[in-house]
Chains A and B, each alone.
Chain A
Amino acid sequence: MKVSQFQNSAARWVGAAAMAGAVFAAPAVSYSQEFGPIVAPEFDAAKAELGKRLFFDVRLSGDAAISCATCHQPDKGFSDGLALSKAYPGSKGFRNTPTLINTAMRENWFHDGRIGTNLNDVTRESLTEDYSMNMDMRLMQERVKQDPVYVQMFADAGMGEPSNGGIRNLIPEYLKTLVSRNAPFDTGTMNEAAQRGLELFTGKAGCASCHSGPLLTDDARYNTGVPDNPEIWSDPMRHMTYAAFASFMGIENYMNVRRDVGAYIWDHKADGSTIGTFITPTLRELKYTAPYMHNGTMDTLFEVVAFYNEGGGDDPNKDPSLQPLGLSFGEQKDIVAFLEALSGDPLTGPEFVWEEPIPTDYPAIENWREQTN
């Protein structure tokens, strides 16, 4: 896509809205970002290869039961196919696992956007949080140092000896390799339905007011009234995990919270206006990442489009720009076709997956007493 095309689309959209008597709130947005193509980040191959092995290694979790790939599975678009993620043993997740494809180009992470710095911090958060991997990184460092394959790979990658700081740099290096490829949208091979969908997406349906830029997200947060997932509150393990999270994040009266407060969890905005806001997700690779929304409450893309066609959900904090769209059944199908055209080749196979077995035990260092630690 070219900027000019996109701006043309936007202009047509605004024009159409005006002619239709502004039946839906149509802000006169001037889209400054183009949709694509994605510019893949540069990465260091040796470091990325090392990061890949770390990503698939269960020894990076506290009890050595799960790896990053347990929830971020390559054949599911680096998501897990579940409405709510699994979490570390003894806890149960309260959010949908987001894809990691293109995550290196994001500006903030997690559905509530609580990490807005870099993937090093995201990696740290995921490794150490009690409900995700519950890893004491000092122990992680010593585990990795015990594996001669890692010791060699660290040296070969110019990373010195294994360290927890190094691990936090290497996993992000691997994540840089996870970039969409060959999506019909990018290769210019969209079918007619998808092309009609694109027109609607940037025009009448207004999706592009938030789903903009190469990843089709503005990385900003909104309340679109997505209904709560009742399982978070009916399953004591999920509710417990959420309550512990809310407690840790400093939410008052966290035992009586009965909804996912979204970005409020970290900004604590006094007027409550951020309750129920979540970061706009990328729309790439959706083909592999059902179910949808921050809590997995929608199984199909059609459900999602129909939801927005109704003007979103029911929430006092709902963003006022969400209004019923008046899309026909066919138009909704066209938007779905466009969304499907945003998915590329699966990122599977040895380029993206560490396929050799990773041992779960550790060889002893020989002549231990004679070696420096």
Chain B
Amino acid sequence: MKPITTFSLLAGSAIAAVAVGAISATWAQDMAVPPLAALGEPPIPLDNPMSEEKIELGKMLFWDPRLGGDASTACVTCHEPDQGWAFSDALSRGYPGTVHWRNSQSVINGAYLGQLFWAGSAASLEKQAKSAATGAVAGNGESDVMETRLAFIPEYRSRFNDVFGTEWPRIGDAWAAIAAFERTLIVNDTPIDRYLNGDTSALDEEQLAGMELFNGKAGCIACHNGAQATDEKYYNLGVPPAERWETDGLAQITYRYEIFAKGVTQEMYRVLKDDPGLYFRTKETADMGKFRTPPLRYTAYTAPYMHNGAFWDFEEVVRFYNAGGGENDFTDGTMAATKTPLLQPLGLNDDEVDQLVAFLEAFSGDELEVEPPELPPYAALPSQ
């Protein structure tokens, strides 16, 4: 494959180089992708400006299970701070009586992403919050009920009024506040950031070697590039279908529900056994099995990995790529053959695998901890 050849050449030239940052830029230029970069401040959408009060309200709402169908599931239920603001199982927890069908993604640094969810179905954190709170295997809430619940919590009435100026809380403003809070969940002081900002001692030798591989021989940079280490594009890597679908009735239910609810042909509903990913959005066969390149930041805390949690640690992931990716239902041509040609066996030896793993560790920094908020109670409204 051409890309691999290019990487190998680049890796060869890299050894001779001295200024690592500059080298990264060169590689990236040659490959027409942005280099890894330190993470700056997150973009703030013009229609949802930040304020301390809004962030504080959003934090409360992030923890509040009343923003869910049976008042048992909050955002935090599947985005647990001590599980990397994600959920430490292959498939996310799901609403009571269900299991989700994809791996829960970290909220950390979500602010930088243009598209949320594994298939990019939400274009903003605001929309992501609403989708998660209303989906049948996530929050299963109805907007009218959730909005009305907020109205019966005096402290929220007062806080929504302060922040948004409305007499009664509006559910759309709840998502805006949650998004504002999420835009404060930033981890941009990682060893990678310190290194790229000039602190050459921030990465040890093994990690530096890993970075060379990342940028060169291993070719990770082809997709995991820029400040978030993602190009936000969609690829089929041949990640195998979730094992749990074969063994767990609850997971089989959710699998069928998802393909039914997201809309496929009757024929496809009958035969699909894997997650078509981006296909649900485009309905193009060429997009079957494609998922958005996930950011690599904060991943030390967010195992397991991949859209269905197929791999439990970095080494498994690296070895998967070293083998040139894998096979799934959209790689052999029966339904589709969409595996990206970027993936080819890498020929990494065990030391090189360890080096890449060590480098991946450098994307995470310290764990971001937040004191959980106290949730205000319901109270009767005054009689008229």
Contact = CB atoms under 8 A, between A and B. Distances in A.
B71 A138 contact: no
Contact of B70 (A63, A237, A241): A63
A236 B257 CA distance: 34
Interface string A325-369: 000000000000000000000000000000000000111110011
Interface stretch (A2-10, A77-85, A129-137, A169-177): A129-137
A345 to B, nearest CB: 35
Contact of B246 (A240, A363, A364): A364
A89 B151 contact: no
Nearest to A147: B249
B273 A59 contact: no
B89 interface: no
B168 interface: yes
- Interface residues of A toward B: which range? 35 or more
Contacts of B70: 62-63, 65, 88-90, 134
Interface in A104-159: 130-131, 134, 136, 138-139, 141-143, 145-146
Interface in B118-152: 136-137, 140-142, 144-145, 147-149, 151-152
Contacts of B159: none
B320 interface: no
Q: Which of A142, A143, A234 has the most CB of B within 10 A?
A: A142
Nearest to A240: B152
Interface in B224-258: 245-250, 252-254, 256-257
Given A62-B95, A248-B144, A234 B72 contact: no
B379 interface: yes
A239 B97 contact: no
Would you call the interface of chain B mostly helix, strand, loop, or mixed?
A: loop
Given A130-B142, A143-B253, A62 B151 contact: no
A235 interface: yes
Interface of A: 59, 61-65, 88-91, 130-131, 134, 136, 138-139, 141-143, 145-146, 233-237, 239-241, 243-244, 247-248, 255-256, 258, 361-365, 368-369, 372-373
Given A255-B381, A364-B248, 15 more contacts: A62-B70, A62-B95, A63-B96, A136-B257, A138-B257, A141-B260, A142-B257, A236-B152, A236-B379, A240-B145, A241-B148, A244-B149, A248-B144, A258-B384, A369-B246
**8 tightest Cβ-Cβ pairs between the two chains A and B:** A362-B249, A64-B97, A90-B71, A136-B136, A63-B96, A244-B148, A130-B142, A89-B70
23 contacts: A63-B97, A63-B140, A88-B69, A89-B72, A90-B70, A90-B71, A136-B257, A139-B253, A142-B254, A145-B253, A233-B380, A236-B152, A236-B378, A237-B152, A241-B148, A244-B149, A247-B144, A255-B381, A361-B250, A362-B249, A362-B253, A364-B252, A368-B273
